[in-house]
Amino acid sequence: MDDALTATGRWQGHLRGFRFLVDGTGTALAAGALLVALAVCAALVVTWPLVPRLLRAVGALAEFERRRTGRHLGHPPSAHGTLPAPAVRRDLGWLVLHATAGTLAGVAALSAPIGLVQNLALAAAWPLFPGTVSTLNTPVASWGQAGLTVLIAAGYAAAGVLVVPPLAHGYLRLNAARLAPPPAALARRLAQVTATRAAAVDAHAVELRRIERDLHDGVQNRVVAVAMHLGIAERALERDPAAALPVVLAARTAAEEALADLRDVVRSIYPPALADRGLAGSVAGLAAHSPVPCSVREEPLPPVAAAVAAAAYFTVAEALTNTAKHGRATRVRVDLRADAGRLVVEVHDDGAGGADERAGTGLDGVRRRVEALDGTMSLHSPPGGPTTVRVTLPAQA
């Protein structure tokens, strides 16, 4: 049983390697086309304005191949990060490699099954098509020559079993090495991850202090007031029961206020609307209660983790609050969309602008929360407006 499972796993690995080379043939041909286009643009001055677009296409193709290679390797692909010039040079080097070696490897992988099927068909059908030749240009005009053609087909099958798997393994490793980011990008990425994780710890500590302060200054004071009123009511019941009713009513009011404060604290930790209505529904609820007229433009969204949904929700809530308090805007628009597997949230208003996250508007806390989830936040708010807050988050934290 173990031997059968081992053999099955080995054949599945061979098939995955074959598929990797075959799928890579398409991207290799695309790489060749881009390589020719870049050469033409370099030779003809009038086509130089097309070079930036072609380089973006090269980057997109390299990113697609990086992800495909990562799936076959079994671990997430690595991106170049924020080193544009080295990344372009590295992608161009990969483009040349993939346009040549990738095409040859794909053709070699395809030749095995095609040669096998073609030679077997010629060996079986030669009486119907006299004068045919095998893929090695040998005639097939008798049953003996047909037997030789079957041997040629067996050679193609053996090549598929013995040559294609190591070829796929070698090219997979070569492709991964050429697509991997340079050491400087890895060092920068490590520094960024370290910084964001430290910011996450700080943000968590700040959040705990805020919750403690809200509970101490709000809910606890309300509960103390309830206890004091109940104590006064108890003494009043002993001396003058009629005078106890106003005190009991005051205690009830204090209890309701404590409950309202407690609900606010709970909502600030994780809004119940997210669990009940999802991200789109909860953002629509924020827009409906916004003092400034607000519209929501939503595209189909991927499933997002709870922490990501909470970060997106608090981003919108903070932006709408700032717009209402400081923006002097007449309209606000919230955009929710997906871009390359990431969640993008934009809040745009037509207000006076001049927003500064360092001025205690709460946007600095939003940035810390977003970066702790490996996301990014940008703020564009020139004096005179408009203001746009843009947050990009991974769908799964």
Q: What integer pLDDT is reported at residue 79 of this predicted model? A: 46
List all residues 6 or more positions away from 280 whose beta carbon is below 8 Å from its beta carbon: 296, 298, 301, 336
Structure tokens at 265: 């604290």
pLDDT of residue 311 exceeding 80: yes
Task: Write down the mean pLDDT value for the chain.
Answer: 79
pLDDT of residue 360 exceeding 70: no
pLDDT of residue 85 exceeding 60: no
Q: What integer pLDDT is reported at residue 7 of this predicted model? A: 56
pLDDT band at 345 (very low <50, low <70, confident <90, very high): very high
pLDDT of residue 274 exceeding 70: yes
Cα separation, 197 vs 194, whole angstroms: 5
Q: What integer pLDDT is reported at residue 8 of this predicted model? A: 62
Give the Å distances, CA to CA, from 139 to 23, 50, 145, 146, 155.
33, 51, 7, 9, 17
List all residues 6 or more positions away from 214 whose beta carbon is below 8 Å from its beta carbon: 261, 264, 265, 268
Q: What is the pLDDT of residues 192-226, one digit of tens each?
A: 666 666 666 666 666 667 677 777 777 777 788 77
Mean per-residue pLDDT, 358-372: 76
Mean per-residue pLDDT, 309-329: 87
Q: What integer pLDDT is reported at residue 332 of this predicted model? A: 92
Most confident listed range (83-92, 256-265, 365-374, 379-388): 379-388
pLDDT of residue 348 exceeding 90: yes
Higher-confidence residue of 253 and 391: namely 391
Cα separation, 357 vs 224, whole angstroms: 37
Segment holding 324, helix H or strand E = none
Mean per-residue pLDDT, 78-103: 71
Lowest-pLDDT range, 87-101, 106-120, 191-205, 305-319?
Answer: 191-205
Cα separation, 363 vs 354, whole angstroms: 13
Higher-confidence residue of 218 and 336: namely 336
pLDDT of residue 366 exceeding 90: no
Using a pLDDT cut of 70, give the percent of the chain over it: 82
Burial of 191 (0-12, 13-18, 19+ CB in 10 A): exposed
Structure tokens at 259: 């409950």
Give the Å distances, CA to CA, from 345 to 18, 95, 145, 314, 372.
40, 34, 69, 11, 16
Q: What integer pLDDT is reported at residue 196 of this predicted model? A: 63
Using a pLDDT cut of 90, give the percent of the chain over it: 5
